[in-house]
Structure formats: C-alpha cells, structure tokens
Amino acid sequence: MNSNYPQYDQADTIQKIINESEHIVVIQADNPDADSLASALALEDILENAGKKVTLYCGIDISQYLHYIPGTDRVVKDLPNNFDSAILVDCSSINLLEQLEKTNSIGALRTRPFIILDHHEIDNTITINNTAIIDSDAVATGELIYLLAQHLNWQISESAASLLTTSILADSLGFSTEKTSARPLRVVADLIDRGANLAKLDEIRRRSMSKPIDIITYKGKLLQRIDYFLDNQLAMIDIPWEETQRFSPHYNPAVLVLEELRFAREIKLGIVLKTYPDGRITGKLRSNYGSTIAGKLAEHFGGGGHPSASGFKTKDYNLENIKKEIIKVANQLIIEESKV
Ligand SMILES: [Mn+2]
C-alpha cells in the first residue's frame, strides 16, 4: 500500500534512532485506552522481532476492562534505569504525562532520543525534544504504526497484526466513527491476510464492554424514565445526584442511556441532564448523523463540542426551568434544520 504521506517524512530518522538503540521504552499517557495499549504491544512485538529489548511503561494502572488485550500484564509503572530511546504512543500532550513529572522521570527522557507516534488533532505540547509522526487522518495509532512499518519494511507478525487490528477496531468503534476512512479498512484487509481474525477480535472487543447485572437492571429503569417531547422528536432524562453517586464508580449513568435516547423512530435529539448538590446541571446531547442541533443547543447553554455530540454545564437554571428552555430552543432548532 502507498504510504507516501507527508506526515511520515520523519520515518527514516525514526529508523536511525531505533537502529542505534538496544533498549527502547514504549510510553503510554496517563489515560491509557485500547488503542494506546494495543499499539504499545504491537510495537513491542515488532521491535523485539528486530532484536531490540523493549519495556512497556504507563504511569497509572491499566483499567480492568482493557485486560482482554493479551500482554497487558507486561506494562510497568516505573521507567527502567537504563534505556536508549523512548517512543510515546497515542499522545502528544504534556498534560497527560503528569506521572512522569511527579516521579522526576522527565529528566531521564530529555537526555535520550524521544519519538512520538500520535493521531490526535491537537498541537504537540511535549516539552522534550522529539521526532514526531502526527497523522490526524489515522483513525487509530495502530493504523499509523502499520503505515510506518510499511514505510520502513518492518515485519508484521501474526500477533502484531492482531494487536494493530484491535487498536483500529477500538478507536473506530468497529469501523463506525465519522473519522473512519477507506484507509484503515485497507490496512485491516492486509492485517487479515497476515493472520488477524477480524470477527474474533471484534467479539472480544464487544465482550469487554459487558456490565454487571445491577447496572443492566438500572439501565432498564432509566429507559422507563425517558420523557419524549415535540412529537417524539426530543428525548430527555434527568439523573439525580444520588444515582450519580451510587452508580458512577461502576458505570457513568449518562453513557448508559445516551445512545438509547435516540432509538425512538422520530427522534432528532437526545439529552441526559445530571443535577448536582451545588445547583449545577450538566447536559450531554446527541443529535442524528449530519445534524447540528446538539452543538447549537449546547452553545445556547454556554457549552460546546461537536455538531451532533456536545455538552454543557450551567448554574443559571433549576431542573424545571432548564427543561422548559430546552424544549423551546430545541423546537426552534428542529424547525430551522427541517427548512434546509
Ligand atoms: Mn487513539
């Protein structure tokens, strides 16, 4: 596959750093997810096959739900004393490396070559001298690593192919996000040829999202509490503080019901409101693909986000008033959008 994208201009420099290293540390930020973890493990596989010693570092414990990815137990919370270079995956923000700052490990990183492989659409704020590939067209860091491997003729084993596929499935939510272009599909097609089992890997990914029974029961109660307005075009639910307190440690109640708000046939907009003891009210909003109603309504309450997925925080309303205001403004936005 053609991997001549300008973002990969640094590939030869990266190869040189790796050639000159015996021991390489692969670093994940303080918010590890399935993409960063599977990408780190794929790099470990590829680099070890090239004869390198690899240490996987992450400053915080890897969440239990990520343990479906094989090799997770090899991630350590301390930087090794001796290493020759470091590769940061799925991150280019210094704010997400607080654990390294806290343990005074940043100094050790400054004295060695530092590589960044990331796909986020933010400015690189890493204060360590670095060689970076930041490809915001990539749906996952795993896609970026595949393209880098193609560029540099790195061998991709069957296990690395499975890990890179896991990474792409995770960040593309099973190839369903708006950012999923044809490229990651072509990449995964090639990874399947190298031995990745797509159906099995996606089944494991979906199983990892399974929940305890009491959360399922609570979800059933939430579904019964959804109110529908504006000829069923608006779905709304509010979650009192007691429930947030009780269920949040296990699962975010808003996320539990957010998608289902849009399951009714006529729905244009779904909103979850949460109330807090200090009088604050937060809203999470979702409108349908291509609609801008969620973004505009969030802006009305001083919030923001994406056109069809947004949020706000306010202290200017009580629950009753904010519901009235939401219905009024949503009605206007729905009428406006239906005219276009
Ligand atoms: Mn990612």
Please give the pLDDT value at position 252. Answer: 86
182 located within any domain: yes
Domain edge (last residue) among 172, 188, 207? 207
Q: Are residues 168 and 91 in the same domain?
A: yes
Please give the pLDDT value at position 211. Answer: 86
Q: How far is the CA of 302 from the centre of ligand 1 (A)?
A: 28
Domain of residue 319 covers: 213-339
Q: How far is the CA of 178 from the centre of ligand 1 (A)?
A: 14
42 located within any domain: yes
Reading the chain (340 residues) residue by residue, the pLDDT tens digits are: 444 677 899 999 999 999 999 999 999 999 899 999 999 999 999 999 999 999 999 999 998 889 999 999 999 999 999 999 999 999 999 988 999 999 888 999 999 999 999 999 888 899 999 999 999 999 999 999 999 999 999 999 999 999 999 999 999 999 998 889 999 999 999 999 999 999 999 999 998 888 889 999 999 999 999 999 999 999 999 999 999 999 887 788 998 999 899 989 999 999 999 999 999 999 999 999 889 999 999 999 999 988 998 999 999 999 999 999 999 999 999 999 998 7
Residue 148 to residue 142: CA distance in whole angstroms: 10
Residue keyed to tokens 């099973």? 174
Q: How far is the CA of 35 from the centre of ligand 1 (A)?
A: 5
Residue 147 to residue 8: CA distance in whole angstroms: 8
1 located within any domain: no
Please give the pLDDT value at position 121. Answer: 85
Domain edge (last residue) among 207, 237, 262? 207
CATH number at residue 274: 3.10.310.30
- Six token digits for residue 152: 């540099």
Q: How far is the CA of 208 from the centre of ligand 1 (A)?
A: 17
Q: Are residues 88 and 115 in the same domain?
A: yes
Backbone angles phi, psi at 58, to 5 degrees: -150, 130
Residue 286 to residue 293: CA distance in whole angstroms: 8
C-alpha Rg value of the chain to the nearest Å = 23
What's the total number of domains in the chain?
A: 2
Q: Are residues 172 and 271 in the same domain?
A: no
Q: Are residues 197 and 219 in the same domain?
A: no
Please give the pLDDT value at position 2. Answer: 47
Please spell the DSSP secondary structure of 35-96, one letter per residue. Answer: HHHHHHHHHHHHHHHTT-EEEEEESSPPPGGGGGSTTGGGEESS--S--SEEEEES---GGG
> Residues 204, 206, 209, 210: what is their CA dihedral angle, to the nearest 10 degrees?
-80
218 located within any domain: yes
329 located within any domain: yes
The residue among 168, 197, 194, 200 whose CA lies nearest residue 181 is 168
161 located within any domain: yes
Q: Are residues 291 and 256 in the same domain?
A: yes
227 located within any domain: yes
Q: How far is the CA of 172 from the centre of ligand 1 (A)?
A: 9
Please give the pLDDT value at position 4. Answer: 60
Q: Are residues 198 and 227 in the same domain?
A: no
Q: Are residues 128 and 23 in the same domain?
A: yes
Please give the pLDDT value at position 293. Answer: 96
- Six token digits for residue 215: 């959360």
Residue 269 to residue 262: CA distance in whole angstroms: 7
